[in-house]
Structure formats: structure tokens, C-alpha cells
């Protein structure tokens, strides 16, 4: 499995440049069908951008960039990305770009979201998954279509409040939000089958690694000026195996909370 991931990562390096802020993955594989109820959209949609055609175009672009996992592509197609961006950027919601969401954070490129999540799916993760860095809530919403239970932590209070309200509005009942220091994970909900970290630190916090189940997978960017996406597998109680993936560029992982 590790050799396959290395080969796929090498192929990706030839296709894509380092991703803009906040990143996410895909290869083919069997992924459990999402259990959450269908997304509800209505009068709150921005500028009529709930068009299935626009989402389909975005998904097609992500597919062209090499994402082949149909469950992940299907999840992208179900979530109205325009509801997670500021109205000033609503017309760009379905472009394959990272967009600012305030407080020095961004909503990640769609292909990056797909890249990271498909890695977990390919690794067999299907149930309890933790996201570190809720941001605007978009990635957590996509995760709700792929995993049985999604737990997400955000350190910036206004972003947490906004993301939680969006997730509630879409009736994503399998997503639980928490305001706190993401570097500490969510100990009371641990252990997790998978962890996705949406910001880069010089090293992955040991606290997060300790909250993985044995056999669990963590996907995170690592590094300061030069960052690389890595997959870490907890192979035993006291052992973690690392596989480097491609070069990326994320916002920095910070400790504490911001109100």
C-alpha cells in the first residue's frame, strides 16, 4: 500500500504545482456510501449559484486534474460551495481556486479537498474522522457525505460560529463542531479512524497522532517555507509510519484560540 501511495504521489508531482493555502486527495478505491440526508438548498442560496451545472463543471475540472474516486467526486457534486464563501466571491465559488474567508484563512481548492479525502477513503477510513481547522465549514460538509461521523475543530470563534450555522442549515446531522485549539485535537471524542489537518506546522503534533486508532490514518501538510503533504499510519500503540506525498502550500497551524 505504501509503495502504491509513493508511486501515485510521484505521478501527481508531474501534474500539479504546490497548492494554494489550505489543501486536501484521490485515487480509485471502494468508499462507503455517505449516510447523511440529502443536502437541502433554498431561498438562502447566493445569486442563484446553486446550479447543478456549475457544480458539475467544477467536478469535471477536478476529475481532469487526476481525481478518480467517484464517491469523492460525488460528494463534491452534492455540496453547494457558494454557500461557504463570502458573497463578494460568490461568482467564483465553483472555480478551482482557494478563496479568502477572513481572519487570514481560505477555503481550499476543490481538487485539494478531494485529494486529501480520497487518500483516507483509499486507506479504508469510513467511520469516525476528525478535521483540524473547520474554516468556513466546506470541507466538513464534503466529509459528511463520505464518513459516518465527522468531528471538526476551529480555533477562530467567528469562523466556528459561521461554519456551525452553515452546517446546521444544510442539516448535516453527522457533523459535530467544536471551538478550541485544533493542535490538541478533540480528546473526549477520540480515538479517530482518520484525521485531516487543514493547516501546516513545522511538525505534526504528537497529540493528534495519539488520538488515532491503531490502523488509523492522518493526512496533514508539514513544514514552514517548504511544505509537503504526508500520510501517517498508526501501525501499533507506539509506532507511526510516514509516507511523504506531494509539495503543498497551506496557512500556518497555530496554537490556542482567537475570539
- Which residues are known to be catalytic? 108
- Listed in order, strand segments (DSSP E) in the chain are 99-102, 105-107, 128-132, 149-154, 175-179, 192-197, 212-222, 227-236, 239-248
* Burial (Cβ within 10 Å: 0-12, 13-18, ≥19) of residue 107: buried
Q: Which residues contact 7 (CB under 8 A, 6 or more apart)?
A: none
Q: Which residues contact 230 (CB under 8 A, 6 or more apart)?
A: 204, 219, 220, 221, 222, 242, 243, 244, 245
Which candidate, 232, 251, 259, 255, places its Cα nearest to that of 183? Answer: 255
Which candidate, 106, 100, 79, 83, places its Cα nearest to that of 22? Answer: 106
Cis upstream peptide for 191 (omega within 30°): yes
Contact 137, 127 (CB under 8 A): no
In the numeric block, the cell 517555507 is attached to 225
Task: Tell me how far apart the alpha carbons of residues 114 and 135 are, in angstroms, rounded to a whole number.
Answer: 16
| CA atoms within 13 A of residue 123's CA, in its CB half-sphere | 29
Which candidate, 4, 212, 221, places its Cα nearest to that of 125? Answer: 212
Amino acid at each position: 500500500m505504501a509503495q502504491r501511495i509513493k508511486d501515485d504521489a510521484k505521478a501527481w508531482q508531474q501534474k500539479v504545482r504546490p497548492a494554494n493555502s489550505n489543501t486536501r486527495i484521490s485515487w480509485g478505491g471502494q468508499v462507503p456510501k455517505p449516510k447523511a440526508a440529502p443536502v437541502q438548498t433554498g431561498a438562502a442560496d447566493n445569486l442563484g449559484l446553486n446550479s447543478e451545472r456549475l457544480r458539475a463543471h467544477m467536478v469535471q475540472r477536478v476529475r481532469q486534474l487526476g481525481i478518480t474516486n467517484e464517491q469523492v467526486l460525488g460528494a463534491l457534486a452534492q455540496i453547494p460551495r457558494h454557500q461557504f464563501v463570502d458573497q463578494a466571491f460568490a461568482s467564483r465559488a465553483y472555480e478551482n481556486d482557494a478563496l479568502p474567508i477572513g481572519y487570514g484563512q481560505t477555503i481550499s481548492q476543490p481538487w485539494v479537498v478531494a485529494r486529501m479525502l480520497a487518500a483516507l477513503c483509499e486507506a479504508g477510513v469510513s467511520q469516525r474522522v476528525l478535521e483540524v481547522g473547520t474554516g468556513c465549514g466546506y470541507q466538513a460538509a464534503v466529509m459528511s457525505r463520505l464518513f459516518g461521523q465527522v468531528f471538526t475543530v476551529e480555533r477562530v470563534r467567528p469562523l466556528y460560529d459561521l461554519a456551525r450555522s452553515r452546517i446546521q442549515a444544510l442539516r448535516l446531522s453527522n457533523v459535530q463542531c467544536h471551538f478550541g485549539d485544533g493542535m490538541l485535537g478533540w480528546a473526549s471524542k477520540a480515538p479517530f479512524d482518520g484525521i485531516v489537518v487543514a493547516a501546516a506546522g513545522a511538525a505534526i503534533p504528537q497529540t493528534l497522532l495519539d488520538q488515532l486508532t491503531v490502523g488509523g490514518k492522518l493526512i496533514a501538510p508539514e513544514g514552514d517555507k517548504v511544505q509537503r503533504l504526508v500520510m501517517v499510519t498508526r501501525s501499533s500503540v507506539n509506532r507511526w509510519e510516514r509516507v511523504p506525498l506531494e509539495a503543498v502550500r497551506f496557512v500556518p497551524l497555530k496554537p490556542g484560540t482567537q475570539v
